[in-house]
Amino acid sequence: MLQHFFNPSSVAVVGASQNPHKIGYEILENIIQYNFRGAVYPINPKADEILGQKAYPDLMSVPGKIDLAVIVVPPALVMDVVEQCGEKGVDSVIIITAGFKETGPKGSHLEEALAVRARALGIHVVGPNCLGIIDTTSSLNASFAEGMPLPGHIGFFSQSGAMCIAILDWAFGQNIGFSRFVSLGNKMDISEVEIMLSMERDANTRVILGYSESIDNGPHFMEAARRVCQTKPIIIIKSGTTSAGAKAASSHTGALAGSDNAYTAAFKQSGVIRAKSMQDLFGYAMAFATQPLPEGPSVAIVTNSGGPGILAADACDRSSLHLTPIRKETADRLREFLPPTAAVYNPVDIIGDATEERYEKTLEVILQDDMLHSVLILLAPTAAVDAEAVAYSIVKLAKNADKPIITVFMGERGVRRARRILQDHSIPSYEYPEDAISAMDAMASYRRWREKPPRQYRHFKGDTGKVRQIFSSIIKQHRHDLIESEAREVLRAYQFRLPENRIAKTTKEAVLAASEIGYPVVMKIASPDVLHKSDMGGVRVGIENDAQVEEAFFDMTSSIRLRQPDARILGVMVQEMIPQGKEVILGITRDMQFGPMIMFGLGGIYVEVLKDVSFRIAPLSVESADAMIREIRSFPLLRGVRGEAPADIEAIRDALLRLSQIAIDFPEIIEADINPLLVCPEGQGAVAVDARFTIHE
Ligand code: COA
């Protein structure tokens, strides 16, 4: 579909100018000077010729067909040019012009009208407010960036034009090449989704890189990314990670869920690798674009000095990689030529007087060991070593290697040329061991993601009619928050296990309810207006007898009346006390871009302080539910510590999947917490003790 953007037979530049200070000149110049092989048509009503090319007053005057039009006229003229494109049958347009959505309501309006018209004319648009597109395979530089990147295997897209310029400049310095370079601008029509899909099909792109500020259609993005990641890695740096929207939230889940959590979850679920910095972005790209994926997590480190070896080993320890001990056969082979003071375990320390020959022999032996899946070569520029000669040895051995070889030549002056040799021969070379390990970890993780069997989804048939009835009655009452009994009904409709309970309006009713349920009981204030009941003195646990019920009833109702006089009190809920278990919290929040998001964490009152929670976008697969349970730092507490019985993890998973189903079935739920879900020991299930839901019309 996007073929004309990347490999057109003819390009028109509308707004091409003879004035070398204008963008319309620069774009035309870029197209011509980097040897684009197709026809080029400058369009300008005042010029006969620009940069040696015959100019045309308008698109209709061009004799041939036009595959791609680049528009560089002022904003007020863009609509007219788009109309001309329609008339001429141009189906692909890059709008460089700024002055649209990014400028405010008036610009937004103009952009919207433009989008509607382009769609009606069957025209695809990159931009507006963008830098343009570069494709090194077709030698097309339809941008006003300075210079043409080297050909390479990295496909890059960016929402920021300035970032494009900075990255291009940086890549020149690093000798890093690109297959395609796309500045998305305002994403009026073509977004990262279409670009990722086009790069998936592009034979010259091995790894897809992106700088993203926002993703408009989350589910669409996830679907595309999940598909593309099956064959090509996608690495994205996402800026704008603040969670301003979370401040107004009333539930725990809402307060904890910033939009950044949604992005993190969506990236994880669709296989996208998230770079934390620009350094990571290109560090990972170098490794992915040039090296085969490792067969597994086992890393061998070869070094001529102890310190860097230890730093690398420490970084390994913090990652998913394994520093596997070198097996005996390999160690014996290494001992044959290494000095007795060398360490032949892992890291393999070939010590300070190592020469290029020692490096080469060691690497040769390591590469032959199938138990080692990737190799990290560290070099400190000692007087004994010729760093450039080591670089050439690595290049020679890498030609036939089937595992990733990554290098860290530490220092600057003594290793600069050696690093360049490695880079020129597609061997990733980093300045610091941590960066190298981070890239290797990303590769191993990506491989694991790709090899996972297809995700399993379970459908739970809830009593949707019942829930709908509850929700419509609440909306009719102009309420948004469900009271506890309503929340319980919703959970019951999806077969959650709930504690026995009764609502009591008087002390007498409370005593009766408690004796029917059986002591001990829990009592909670029943009010649609009291959101955090325990904070307000609205919860009492471990009530043992009638006298304590009476006392609690009185205390609670008076405490609420005192602290929140306007709260409506419907009575007190008397509840079965669940004997023992671990408290966890489950929640729903709705993200603007990605839709319903499910949260999991260890429950109780400290959840917002500790923030030890995990998120995934609904619908959850069984695997995602499992992963989010295991991901929290306090997971070992659920497995049981100091002889405790492990908690029923399967019951948590089941509850997460059911909650995900509720979130999918009822888009009107904007926030929900099940807090706590009391998880009994293994095999004994889990009970939803308390829940709250907030809905909107
Ligand atoms: N068809 C073709 N050419 C036309 C035209 C038409 N209908 N109407 C005017 N032109 C010509 C002009 O005559 C001019 O050529 P000239 O130099 O020979 O006179 C040329 O198009 C450009 O128009 P001009 O009015 O000089 O505009 P400009 O070059 O000063 O600015 C933009 C045009 C698009 C560069 C400017 O509006 C803009 O958006 N700048 C910001 C771009 C940007 O930052 N994008 C985002 C990057 S990340």
**Residue range 662-670: average pLDDT?**
96
**Residue range 539-561: average pLDDT?**
93
Please give the domain boundaries of the chain with CATH numbers for all domains: 3-205 (3.40.50.720), 291-450 (3.40.50.261), 464-480+495-576 (3.30.1490.20), 582-695 (3.30.470.20)
Alpha carbon distance 65, 87 (integer Å): 12
Neighbours of 120 (CB within 10 A): 9
pLDDT level of residue 641 (50, 70, 90 thresholds) = confident
Check pLDDT > 90 for residue 416.
Answer: yes
Interval between CA 15 and ligand 1 midpoint (Å)? 5
Q: Is 13 in the pocket of ligand 1 (CB under 6 A)?
A: no
Q: Is 97 in the pocket of ligand 1 (CB under 6 A)?
A: yes
Q: What are phi and psi of 70, to 5 degrees?
A: -105, 120
Instruction: Put the strands of the sheet holding 177-183 in their side by side order.
Output: 140-143, 132-135, 177-183, 150-158, 207-212, 234-238, 273-275
Check pLDDT > 80 for residue 98.
Answer: yes
pLDDT level of residue 607 (50, 70, 90 thresholds) = confident
Query: What pLDDT, on a 0 to 100 scale, did the predictor assign at position 255?
Result: 60
Interval between CA 332 and ligand 1 midpoint (Å)? 71
Q: Among 159-163, 213-217, 240-244, which is the least confidently predicted range?
A: 240-244
Q: Are 433 and 378 in contact (CB under 8 A)?
A: yes
Query: What pLDDT, on a 0 to 100 scale, did the predictor assign at position 110?
Result: 95
**Residue range 362-378: average pLDDT?**
97
DSSP H helices, 564-691, are 607-610, 622-631, 635-639, 649-665
Angstrom distances, CA of residue 472 to CA of 106, 397, 695 = 38, 70, 10
Query: What pLDDT, on a 0 to 100 scale, did the predictor assign at position 323?
Result: 95
Q: Among 18-22, 242-246, 636-640, which is the least confidently predicted range?
A: 242-246
Residue ranges with strand state E in 416-500: 429-430
For residue 134, the SS3 value is strand
Angstrom distances, CA of residue 137 to CA of 91, 151, 279, 367, 525 = 21, 7, 26, 33, 69
Question: Which pairing describes strands 429-430 and 405-409: parallel, antiparallel, or unpaired?
Answer: parallel
Check pLDDT > 70 for residue 245.
Answer: no
Interval between CA 318 and ligand 1 midpoint (Å)? 53
Minimum CA distance residue for ligand 1 atom 29 = 22
The DSSP code sequence of 448-465 is HHHHSPPPP-------HH
Interval between CA 69 and ligand 1 midpoint (Å)? 14
Interval between CA 74 and ligand 1 midpoint (Å)? 5
Check pLDDT > 90 for residue 697.
Answer: no
Alpha carbon distance 323, 601 (integer Å): 31
Query: What pLDDT, on a 0 to 100 scale, did the predictor assign at position 522?
Result: 92
Check pLDDT > 70 for residue 67.
Answer: yes
Phi and psi based region of residue 125 (left: phi greater than 0; alpha: psi -120 to 50; beta: remaining): beta
Interval between CA 22 and ligand 1 midpoint (Å)? 7
For residue 673, the SS3 value is strand
The structure tokens listed for 467 are 């829930």
pLDDT level of residue 499 (50, 70, 90 thresholds) = confident
**Residue range 477-492: average pLDDT?**
92
Check pLDDT > 80 for residue 248.
Answer: no
SS3 content of the chain, % helix, strand, coil (to 5): 40, 20, 35
Query: What pLDDT, on a 0 to 100 scale, did the predictor assign at position 246?
Result: 41
Lookup result for tokens 């390999």: 330
- Give per-residue pLDDT as tens, 305-358: 999 999 999 999 999 999 999 999 999 999 999 999 999 989 999 999 999 999
Helix (H) or strand (E) holding 263: helix 259-270
Q: Are 133 and 183 in contact (CB under 8 A)?
A: yes
- Give per-residue pLDDT as tens, 266-287: 999 999 999 998 889 989 999 9
Q: Is 161 in the pocket of ligand 1 (CB under 6 A)?
A: yes
- Give per-residue pLDDT as tens, 139-158: 999 999 999 999 999 999 99
Angstrom distances, CA of residue 623 to CA of 452, 457, 473, 559, 656 = 10, 9, 36, 45, 11
Q: Is 160 in the pocket of ligand 1 (CB under 6 A)?
A: no
Check pLDDT > 80 for residue 244.
Answer: no
The more confident residue out of 641 and 459 is 459
Displacement of CA 82 from its chain's centroid (Å): 35
Alpha carbon distance 19, 117 (integer Å): 31
Helix (H) or strand (E) holding 84: helix 75-88
Task: Give the relative orientation of helices 192-201 and 218-228 as an angle to the nearest 10 degrees.
Answer: 10
Check pLDDT > 80 for residue 582.
Answer: yes
Check pLDDT > 60 for residue 243.
Answer: no
Check pLDDT > 90 for residue 260.
Answer: no
For residue 415, the SS3 value is coil
The structure tokens listed for 524 are 């909670």
Side chain identity, residue 29: E
Q: Is 454 in the pocket of ligand 1 (CB under 6 A)?
A: no
Q: Is 652 in the pocket of ligand 1 (CB under 6 A)?
A: no
- Give per-residue pLDDT as tens, 167-193: 888 888 878 899 999 999 999 999 999
Residue ranges with strand state E in 96-239: 124-126, 132-135, 140-143, 150-158, 177-183, 207-212, 234-238
Query: What pLDDT, on a 0 to 100 scale, did the predictor assign at position 583?
Result: 92
Q: Is 165 in the pocket of ligand 1 (CB under 6 A)?
A: no
Q: Which atom of ligand 1 is nearest to the CA of 183?
A: 48
Check pLDDT > 80 for residue 604.
Answer: no
Is the preceding peptide bond at 128 cis, omega within 30 degrees of 0?
yes
Using a cut of 0.85, tell me whether the model's pTM lies above it: yes
Alpha carbon distance 363, 340 (integer Å): 18
The more confident residue out of 576 and 297 is 297
Displacement of CA 288 from its chain's centroid (Å): 17
Q: Among 55-64, 225-234, 289-298, 606-615, which is the least confidently predicted range?
A: 606-615
Lookup result for tokens 């490999």: 7
pLDDT level of residue 256 (50, 70, 90 thresholds) = low
Q: Is 632 in the pocket of ligand 1 (CB under 6 A)?
A: no
Check pLDDT > 80 for residue 576.
Answer: yes
pLDDT level of residue 235 (50, 70, 90 thresholds) = very high
Interval between CA 24 and ligand 1 midpoint (Å)? 6
Check pLDDT > 60 for residue 417.
Answer: yes
Q: What is the mean pLDDT of the chain?
A: 93
Phi and psi based region of residue 478 (left: phi greater than 0; alpha: psi -120 to 50; beta: remaining): left
Q: Are 136 and 111 in contact (CB under 8 A)?
A: no
Query: What pLDDT, on a 0 to 100 scale, did the predictor assign at position 241?
Result: 58
Q: Is 45 in the pocket of ligand 1 (CB under 6 A)?
A: yes
> Ligand 1 test: best mutation among 17, 88, 125, most atoms within 8 Å of CB?
17
The DSSP code sequence of 535-590 is GGT-EEEEE-SHHHHHHHHHHHHHHHHHH-TT----EEEEEEPP-S-EEEEEEEEE
Side chain identity, residue 302: V
**Residue range 472-488: average pLDDT?**
92
Is the preceding peptide bond at 45 cis, omega within 30 degrees of 0?
no
Phi and psi based region of residue 513 (left: phi greater than 0; alpha: psi -120 to 50; beta: remaining): alpha
Minimum CA distance residue for ligand 1 atom 30 = 22
Question: Which pairing describes strands 150-158 and 177-183: parallel, antiparallel, or unpaired?
Answer: parallel
pLDDT level of residue 533 (50, 70, 90 thresholds) = confident
Alpha carbon distance 572, 681 (integer Å): 29
Q: What are phi and psi of 522, to 5 degrees?
A: -115, 145
